[in-house]
Chain A
């Protein structure tokens, strides 16, 4: 399965990754090889097989809806790259 350089650029955008031309040239053949290998799943009849998303059957794990302490603000903000002391700060989301 041939993955083109354009596809790599598109996927990188979806994944929010800035990729250099050099990276693109390296990733295209590598991802093509990996997806070629993964193509072998196409040769198996799987239409009637149910999918597994977890190794064991899991149902919603619920607890009582009781208020309890959560991470205090100072601790939650301690690792943030930029804050105003109360909230994290980011570059402008909207222009104007």
Chain B
């Protein structure tokens, strides 16, 4: 039994045609068939998942009752190893679960495993994992994107109907685009970050990977909401995301950015996105031109703010309370060796950039200027959203690239996030929906960005496009 959508599983279980054990077994079977090739999972909890599924055989009213899922390995799971794909946390077993994990438990979900990622979510290809390289299910020679590459690949290859990831500069939307699935980064504060291993706290958000927009609405409904354990989670009511879905786009205003930087934009991506805009227009949506004049500075702004926050957040890995400890004669030597052996190169690079940008004499020139630019980027969106309801761009400038193509050039890797980063800086929700396939057979993603806390409209627009686009994503052919 191949894995179906979240909605199909929920409905089948409601009709009592299947049991939670059926779906968990199906998911585990898909993993055992495909994951030796794809390598999406760092850990599969076969026994835990089956026990959980068996315990669910009664009581079928919860919203995700009996639905198997996977979690990016930077989401803490009590009693289950959580590594953030780093040597420094190789043996870390969290004493508590993230709020999203508790919410999915309460909703009846069945956790089947933890997925691979770029170490501490720093990367755009999942090549920075300390443990393994996850392959793109559409082409095993290509990266799945990152940093949530394992979650994206697990959903794309049909191993789970949904997975959670985290997005600091595009780490949900870009791998979703590369792997031909739907990925949603909620508004900052919409989903509790409690129990998410922190990278850049003013940018990080947790969100779902699914095969359909409707499924994203189901998962969002389960994980959203204020949490007293995360002081930055927003005390804002959670809308009914599912009832808002409609294929009707009349009255919807779609913003197309006229001053976007299209240097390096792949012709197939450009064509697919243009076609998507035409699809929405001909179905009755109003297409308006908007400007985001400061988004050209977003990557530079991000690569000061995110490393600065990371250098501070990752100071906690010192070999004292948890994680790896290297031997040192003195405390200082122990710190330096622990961190040097425990962190991979990209993590070190970002800690160094952040430390440099915050160091005496450079703070005003770099960090403070970046924070000011962040204000202008936010204000651009405020002005644009006076004219439209959602803003449409490509999710990434190119389809998935090959392994090794960008590893020696960090700046080129960073520029891959140019279309996704602005929404993180402004705190806005963004979604990537498949909008076509390149000449090489690789998926292309359409990004839509919405107003703060208006995931309802964002999901509605994405759902409408998905209904109107007139094709289904071809399933990847993972051999093995």
A contacts, CB < 8 Å to B: 3, 7-8, 11-12, 14-19, 23, 27, 30-31, 33-35, 37-42, 44, 46, 49-56, 58, 61, 63, 71, 75-76, 78-82, 88, 90-93
- Nearest to B300 among chain A residues (CB) is A38
Say if the beta carbon of B313 comes within 8 Å of chain A. Answer: no
- Nearest to A79 among chain B residues (CB) is B322
For B322, the chain A residues whose CB sits under 8 A away are 79-81
Q: Are B366 and A27 in contact (CB under 8 A)?
A: no
> How many positions in chain B have a CB within 8 Å of any CB in the partner chain?
70
In the complex where A49-B372, A82-B325 touch, is A92 in contact with B331 (Cβ < 8 A)?
yes
Q: Are B321 and A11 in contact (CB under 8 A)?
A: no
**Which of A23, A30, A49, A79 has a CB less than 8 Å from the CB of B376?**
A49
Q: Are A17 and B328 in contact (CB under 8 A)?
A: no
Per the bound structure, the CA–CA distance linking A39 and B281 in Å amounts to 40
B contacts, CB < 8 Å to A: 91-93, 95-96, 188-189, 202, 228, 231-232, 234, 297, 299-301, 303-304, 311, 315, 318-325, 328-337, 339-340, 343, 345, 348-349, 351-353, 355-356, 359, 365-366, 368-376, 378, 410-411, 414, 425-428, 452
Nearest Cβ on chain B to A23's Cβ, whole angstroms: 7
Q: Are B375 and A81 in contact (CB under 8 A)?
A: no
Q: Are A16 and B323 in contact (CB under 8 A)?
A: no
Q: Are A56 and B355 in contact (CB under 8 A)?
A: no
Per the bound structure, the CA–CA distance linking A37 and B425 in Å amounts to 18
What are some 27 contacts across the A-B interface (CB < 8 A)?
A: A3-B356, A15-B339, A15-B352, A16-B336, A17-B339, A17-B351, A27-B348, A27-B352, A34-B303, A37-B303, A38-B304, A39-B300, A41-B370, A44-B297, A46-B369, A46-B376, A49-B372, A50-B372, A51-B372, A52-B378, A55-B189, A55-B425, A56-B427, A58-B231, A61-B232, A81-B319, A81-B322
Known: A31-B352, A51-B372, A79-B322. 13 other contacts (CB 8 A): A8-B352, A11-B355, A27-B352, A38-B366, A49-B372, A55-B202, A55-B452, A79-B95, A80-B321, A81-B323, A81-B324, A88-B320, A90-B334
Per the bound structure, the CA–CA distance linking A37 and B300 in Å amounts to 7
In the complex where A23-B348, A49-B372 touch, is A63 in contact with B228 (Cβ < 8 A)?
yes
> Main SS of the interface on chain A?
loop
For B345, the chain A residues whose CB sits under 8 A away are 23
- Nearest to B340 among chain A residues (CB) is A18
- Nearest to B228 among chain A residues (CB) is A63
Q: Are A52 and B365 in contact (CB under 8 A)?
A: no
**Which of A44, A51, A75 has a CB less than 8 Å from the CB of B374?**
A51
